[in-house]
Amino acid sequence: MLDLVTGSSGLLGSCLVERLRAHGRRVRALDLVPPANGHSADPGVEVVEADLRDRGAVTEACRDVEVVYHLAAGQRMKPQFAALTEREIYAMNVAAVEHVVAGALAAGVRKLVAISSSGVYGIPETTPCREDHPQRPLGAYGRSKMEAERRCREALARGLDVTLFRPMSLFGPGMTGVFILLFYWVRQGKNVYLLGAGANRVQMVSAWDVADACLLAAERPESRGIVLNLGADDVPTVREQVDALIAHAGSRSRVVPLPAGCLRTGARVLTRLGLSPIVPEHYLLADRTFILDTARAKAVLGWQPRFSNVRMSIEAYDWYCRHGERYRPQAGPVLRLLNALS
């Protein structure tokens, strides 16, 4: 049978395509950019370079598909979307899910598995945060995911079997985004700057663990119409996690805590001026404890995360060291300033 994976060239998409192929599934891999791995050479993978804002292309991609895995999303931390405004990010992500849902309904697919985000919660009022926590997203990305969930629920009412996942920040080989800056600092032996003392705990999740959850959802009838949190079980403090990474790397890096309040104000100004790719979800949450309650995913799917925060960050760092020249952080004014101070 044939499955469609949107965002197939990204971190999660690459892992999911590999998992699907290992299970003998044929895959239609759709993305704006070609895959950087070996998927294009696999005869069981049909690579489609298309924009999800192109309704006709999405409709065609859904043809003859049994399961659609909608992973694609625009974020300003991704190089191909760095020039977009927050408003453009929102419009792009909402249009994408609208077209995927329409294509899935028109093609009569059996199942839609869609990736939302923990960003829909905003600043957590309780920890661990359950799926029924109020939704108060902080930026355009979180708002776009909240609207995408609404579109998926509408599709459910029209007969489409949908499962939604809200994962924490994804870690894994080939990851991009703000954590590349951490890896760069550690590898260069530079100071590692933290927003606050690092005494808070921030849950993450391995892309491999999320890929496993996607496969389980596609096969479990009891996953129909529900939303599930995904995150690691073993979550140390931010300082403990960074210290473990520095020790693993044998780096000369030193952790430097910075005052959270002043930096938050500065980050807000720089972001509004377009001088920093960091978005509100980063600077408003960086010094807060944020852990999701994943009991529902474990009970419904039999899912169990295999990667701890420390293990996934070490494996991602090791991958970065082998391929890092392709993933150097963008040398914007904020990075240049911090590097000068290191």
Report pLDDT for 259: 83
Query: Which range scores top for mean pLDDT: 103-112, 260-269, 315-324?
Result: 103-112
Which regions of the chain carry the CATH code 3.90.25.10?
Answer: 179-202+234-288+308-341
Give bridge partners of residue 165 from the DSSP assignment.
115, 228
pLDDT band at 74 (very low <50, low <70, confident <90, very high): confident
Half-sphere exposure of 208 (CA within 13 A, CB side): 14
Higher pLDDT, 72 or 327: 72
Going by pLDDT thresholds of 50, 70 and 90, the confidence category of residue 179 is confident
Contact 27, 35 (CB under 8 A): no
Position 298 scores a pLDDT of 98
Per-residue pLDDT band for 340 (boundaries 50, 70, 90) equals low
* Per-residue pLDDT, 308: 97
Tell which residue, 268, 313, 275, 277, has the closest CA to residue 80. 277
pLDDT of residue 270: 64
Tokens 């859904």 sit on residue: 62
pTM, entire model: 0.91
Numbered ranges of CATH 3.40.50.720 in the chain: 2-172+205-230
To the nearest 10°, report the CA torsion of 205, 114, 149, 175: 40
For the chain, percent of residues with pLDDT exceeding 70: 85
> How do residues 95-105 score in pLDDT, each as one tens digit?
999 999 999 99
Measured distance CA(241)–CA(202) in Å, rounded: 10
pLDDT tens digit string along 21-67? 999 999 999 998 877 766 767 889 999 999 999 999 999 999 999 99
pLDDT of residue 59: 97
pLDDT of residue 271: 63
At the top level of CATH, the class of 179-202+234-288+308-341 is alpha beta
Residue of 282 and 89 predicted with greater confidence: 89
pLDDT exceeds cutoff 70 at 241: yes
**How much is the average pLDDT of 2-6?**
97
User: pLDDT value at position 286?
Assistant: 80
How confident is the model over 316-333, as a mean pLDDT? 72
Report the percentage of the chain scoring pLDDT > 90.
68
- Write b or e for each residue in 316-332: b if 16 or more Cβ atoms lie within 10 A of its Cβ, otherwise e: bbebbeeeeeebebeee
User: For 2-172+205-230, CATH number?
Assistant: 3.40.50.720
Q: What is the pLDDT of residue 35?
A: 76
User: Which pLDDT does position 332 carry in this prediction?
Assistant: 56
* Position 338 confidence tier, pLDDT thresholds 50, 70, 90: low
pLDDT at 164 over 70: yes
The pLDDT assigned to 325 comes to 57
In 156-308, the DSSP E strands lie at 162-167, 169-171, 192-195, 204-206, 227-230, 255-258
Query: Do residues 109 and 67 touch, judged by C-beta distance below 8 A?
Result: yes
More confident residue, 229 or 88: 229
d(CA 342, CA 339): 5
b/e per residue, 271-282, with b = 16+ CB within 10 A?
beeeebbbbbbb
Taking a C-beta distance cutoff of 8 angstroms, is the pair 308, 299 a contact?
no
148 pLDDT more than 90? yes
